[in-house]
Amino acid sequence: MITKTCTQCGKEIQRKPYHAEMTKNHFCSFACYGEWQKTHRIGQGRKRITVTCFTCGKKFEKQPNQETDHNFCSRECFAKWRASEDWSGENNPAWLGGHSGYRGPNWNRQSRAARLRDSNTCQVCGFANGDNLPVHHIKPYHLFSDYREANRLNNLITLCPTCHAAEEKKYWQEHPEDSENRTFPNNFLVKCQRCGSDFVPNSGASKFCPDCCTHICQHCGKEFFNRKISDRKPKYCSRDCRNAHIKKHPA
C-alpha cells in the first residue's frame, strides 16, 4: 500500500499502487470529494435548462433530456397534479371509458371527506370500522348528469354494508319512477348467478344481485348483507350470533 494525502482535508490515507497512479487527487471520503468539486469543478460538464413547475409555477433547473410537457419541482407538486382532475377520468391517458361503479374523478376525495365528517361511523346503526365503510349517495349517482352535483357532501352519507344495501333497496322501492331515469348503459347489466335476474354490479367481481345478497339472521332476526360467492346461504349476521345460536340449540 502507498500512503497518500487527502487533497481536501490533508488526512493520510492508504491506496493501492495502481490506484495511486490513476489520478493526482486523492480523497478520504465522498464528503471531501464533494467539497473539492464545489470549488474546483463547478460548472464543468454541467448542462441545465430552466423550466417552470406545472403545479406551483416555481422556476428550477433540469437536465435537457429530462424536460417534459409537465415539469415538477418536487414530489409534492407532482402528487397534487396526479390527484387533481387534470389527471383523472377522461383526462388520464389510460382512460378506457370507466365502469358501472365509476363515480367521477373527484369521488375518492369526496368519499374520504364524507367518512371524516361522519367520524367513520355508520349514520344509521352506529357501526364503526376504521376508514373502510362505504359512502352512500342519498340520491343515486345515476340520476345526475354531472358528477360534481352527485358527489356533493350533502348528498353523501357513511353507512355500513348492511345499512348501505338496505338504503339502496329502500330508495328504489319508494321512488320506482326514477328507475326510468337511470343513465347507465345496458352493457353494464349482468345476470345474477343465483336468481338469474339482471342487475348493475358495483364492481367487476359482483356475481349476485342485491336481493340475493340480503339475508335474515336465524338468531337475532336482523336483516344483513353478505356478498360472499358461495353455494351455501349465510345463516347468521355475525360470528357472535352464530355462537349464541349453537349454544342455545346444541346439536
Cα dihedral value 202, 206, 207, 211, nearest 10: -40
Question: Alpha-carbon distance 169 to 2, whole Å?
Answer: 84
pTM: 0.41
Average pLDDT, the chain: 82
Report the SS3 class of residue 13: strand
* Ordered alpha helix ranges (H), 56-207: 75-83, 107-117, 147-150, 161-174
Report the SS3 class of residue 171: helix
pLDDT band at 186 (very low <50, low <70, confident <90, very high): very low
Question: Alpha-carbon distance 178 to 139, whole Å?
Answer: 10
Among all chains, which residue has been given the C-alpha cell 406545472? 54
Q: Where are the domains of the chain?
A: 2-30, 49-91, 107-212
**pLDDT by residue (tens digit) across 219-239?**
898 888 887 766 677 888 888
Residue type, 191: K
Lowest-pLDDT range, 3-7, 18-22, 100-104?
Answer: 100-104
Report the SS3 class of residue 111: helix
For residue 12, what are the β-bridge partners? 5
Lowest-pLDDT range, 18-22, 46-50, 229-233, 242-246?
Answer: 229-233
C-alpha cell belonging to residue 37? 468539486
Question: Alpha-carbon distance 147 to 37, whole Å?
Answer: 55
Question: Alpha-carbon distance 183 to 37, whole Å?
Answer: 65
pLDDT at 40 over 70: yes
